[in-house]
Structure 1
Amino acid sequence: MKKEYDFSKGERGKFYRPNAELNFPVYLDPEITKFIRNLTGEKDTDIETIVNDWLRKDIELIQTVR
């Protein structure tokens, strides 16, 4: 790394996108990943759909208990 960088020709906000969506990675334990992959094959769907369905159901349950 340099001790100093020249930002005099930099452009503020050049890559800023106000409506950009942030998708963050979720790292699952290996046994959970294996279980979900097997389930996706049985149900002919993708991992995102299964995990989103589970999370929606969990959210509903949590809101019901409150």
Structure 2
Amino acid sequence: MKKLKTTDALRSEYKRSDFGELVRGKYADRITEESNVVLLEPDIARAFPNDEAVNKALRYLLEVAEVSTRLINR
């Protein structure tokens, strides 16, 4: 099997001027805002084996916070 030669040059039918101005990271902010991915620190990730365990712990924490807030506001 022959290896294909790869070059970074544009094909002859394309002109660089046809593509307009290129902007690096043009959509990076939008992707960051729309993303719901949360990165855990390594020590925290070791404590939770999967996403279900993380969600269960956070729901419990919210429940405790709600109960303690009700006790304080009485």
Normalising TM by the smaller chain, what interval?
0.3 to 0.5
**Which structure's CA Rg is the greater one?**
2
| TM-score (structure 1 length as normaliser) | 0.47
Higher relative contact order (CA 8 A, sep 6+): 1
| TM-score (structure 2 length as normaliser) | 0.43
